[in-house]
């Protein structure tokens, strides 16, 4: 009976340690304040996400293997604190996906984001060279129509490129991850 007691205590401790690792040390443990005083230029969405933008990236499945590669052509326009960013993604299988984001910036670094496939509103916060955006996204019907909890982190690189890392979760379990870069399209 004593052995069972120690097994149960050990299992509970492992669950607690696992939760603490995810909460404070892993991807979801980041907070915008962690980057508030980071060296270098601060991310300024109307400046850094403006005009024609090229996006290149990969999507990892739940086992960590690349499940899709894509190229995106974006166009972002701002009027004051309100921006609209149209996106066209072309995937390695030839499929195309369009999305249009509306972004509203608050004076306190907060961002409200909406798109037709976003359930409700996304809530974001800028700090230093970073932006965290949390939202719920509805997958297309041909992908199951599932609603996933999404956390996007965007980090401004010293050359002006934005590096984006996103995780998608269902019932708290990571089902996909995206890594992409966004850079202004150079005039030809």
Q: Report the DSSP pairing between strands 173-184 and 82-91.
A: unpaired
Q: How many domains does the chain have?
A: 2
Record the tokens describing residue 129, joined without a space: 């060279």
Question: In angstroms, how far apart are the furthest CA atoms of the chain?
Answer: 75
pTM above 0.85, yes or no: no
Backbone angles phi, psi at 37, to 5 degrees: -110, 20
Residue 21 is predicted with a pLDDT of 62
Q: How many CA atoms lie within 13 A of 67 on its CB side?
A: 10
Q: Are residues 84 and 137 in the same domain?
A: yes
Q: Are residues 64 and 138 in the same domain?
A: yes
Q: Are residues 8 and 60 in the same domain?
A: no
Nearest-angstrom CA–CA distance, 104 and 102: 7
How does pLDDT run across 43-90, given as a tens digit for each residue? Answer: 999 999 999 999 999 999 999 999 999 999 999 999 999 999 999 999
Task: Print the domain residue range for 9.
Answer: 1-30
Q: Are residues 50 and 112 in the same domain?
A: yes
Cβ atoms of 87 and 72 closer than 8 Å: yes
Which residues are paired to 135 by β-bridges?
150
Residue 4 is predicted with a pLDDT of 78
Q: Are residues 47 and 7 in the same domain?
A: no
Q: Are residues 7 and 52 in the same domain?
A: no
Residue 187 is predicted with a pLDDT of 67
Q: Of the given ranges (7-11, 78-82, 97-101, 180-184), which has the lowest mean pLDDT?
A: 7-11
Q: Are residues 51 and 76 in the same domain?
A: yes
Number of H helices, E strands in the chain: 2, 10
How does pLDDT run across 122-169, given as a tens digit for each residue? Answer: 999 999 999 999 999 998 888 788 999 999 999 999 999 999 999 999
Long-range CB pairs of 19-28, under 8 A, 24+ apart, other chains included: 27/151, 27/153, 27/165, 27/167, 28/151, 28/167
Cβ atoms of 163 and 181 closer than 8 Å: yes
Cβ atoms of 153 and 130 closer than 8 Å: yes
Q: Is the pLDDT of residue 6 over 80?
A: no
Q: Are residues 95 and 20 in the same domain?
A: no
Q: Are residues 130 and 147 in the same domain?
A: yes
């Amino acid at each position: 009976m004593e052995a069972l007691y120690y097994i149960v205590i050990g299992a509970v401790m492992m669950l607690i340690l696992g939760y603490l690792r995810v909460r404070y040390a892993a991807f979801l443990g980041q907070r915008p304040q962690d980057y508030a005083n980071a060296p270098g230029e601060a991310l300024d969405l109307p400046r850094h996400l403006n005009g024609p933008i090229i996006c290149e990236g990969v999507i990892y499945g739940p086992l960590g293997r690349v499940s899709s590669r894509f190229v995106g052509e974006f166009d972002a326009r701002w009027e004051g604190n309100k921006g609209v960013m149209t996106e066209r993604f072309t995937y390695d299988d030839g499929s195309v996906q369009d999305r249009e984001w509306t972004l509203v910036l608050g004076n306190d670094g907060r961002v409200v984001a909406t798109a037709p496939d976003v359930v409700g509103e996304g809530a974001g916060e800028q700090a230093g060279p970073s932006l965290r955006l949390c939202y719920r996204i509805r997958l297309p019907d041909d992908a199951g129509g599932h609603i996933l909890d999404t956390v996007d982190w965007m980090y401004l690189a010293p050359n002006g490129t934005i590096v984006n890392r996103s995780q998608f979760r269902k019932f708290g379990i990571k089902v996909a991850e995206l890594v992409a870069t966004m850079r202004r399209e150079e005039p030809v």
